[in-house]
Amino acid sequence: MGAKIGVGDRAPDFSLPTQSGQVLDMRDLQGKKEVVLYFYPKDNTPGCTAEAGAFRDRFGAFKDIGAEVIGISSDSVGSHRDFASKCDLPFTILSDEGGRVRKLFGVPSSFGLIPGRVTYVIDRKGIVRHVFNSQTNPTRHVEEAMRALEEIRGERGNDDPAERAEA
C-alpha cells in the first residue's frame, strides 16, 4: 500500500482508461478545475449504484461550480461502460485494474477484503483539500464533496480569473 494521501498533500499524477477506452491524465486537469475523485468498490452493487446515482443527480451543481467528477474502481473498461450506460452517468469513470492508483492514494480496504470508498476533493493546484471515507454511507460522499467545493470557491472569491471570464 502506498503512502496515505491526506488533506494538504499533492494529489498523485496518474493516467487511466475511461469507460470509453480513452486515457485520462490527471495532469491535464490541473490548473483548470477542481476534481472530485471518488474511489468505490465495484460496479453494479447497491451502495456503488446509489453513490453513482447521487453524483449523477447533483452533476449539474458540480458543473456549475466548475468541478470535474471522476469515479474510479478496479472494474474493467467494459464493466464501466455498461455501468455508466445503465445508470446514465454524465461523468467519467476510470478503470484501475490491479488497483495501482488505489494503492498510490493509500485507499484502505474494509475488513481487509472490500476495496474502500473514499472521496478526495482536489483543488486547481493539485492539492487535496478534503478527504471523506465512509463505506456505509455512500450518498454522503456527494454532500461532503459539495461542501468542500463551496468552501474552496468561497476562498477564491473574485480573485479567480476563470470565474471573472465566465461572469
Catalytic residue from among 16, 26, 36, 48: 48
In this prediction, residue 3 has a pLDDT band, given cuts at 50, 70 and 90, of: low
C-alpha grid cell, residue 114? 472490500
Share of the chain above pLDDT 70, in %: 92
pLDDT digits (tens, 9 = 90+) for 39-94: 999 999 999 999 999 999 999 999 999 999 999 999 999 999 999 999 999 999 99
Give SS3 for 115.
Answer: strand
Tell me which DSSP letter residue 137 carries: -
pLDDT tens-digit profile of 99-141? 999 999 999 887 777 888 999 999 999 999 999 999 888 889 9
Q: For 145-163, what is the mean pLDDT?
A: 76
Average pLDDT over residues 12-24: 96
Catalytic annotation present for 87: no
Q: In sequence order, which residues have a C-beta less than 8 Å from that of residue 100 and are 6 or more positions away?
A: 14
Instruction: Check residue 54 and give its pLDDT.
Output: 96
Distance CA 16, CA 23 (A): 5
List the grid coordinates of 20.
Answer: 470509453
Residue ranges of domains in the chain, CATH in brackets: 15-166 (3.40.30.10)
User: CA 42 to CA 48: how far, in whole Å?
Assistant: 6
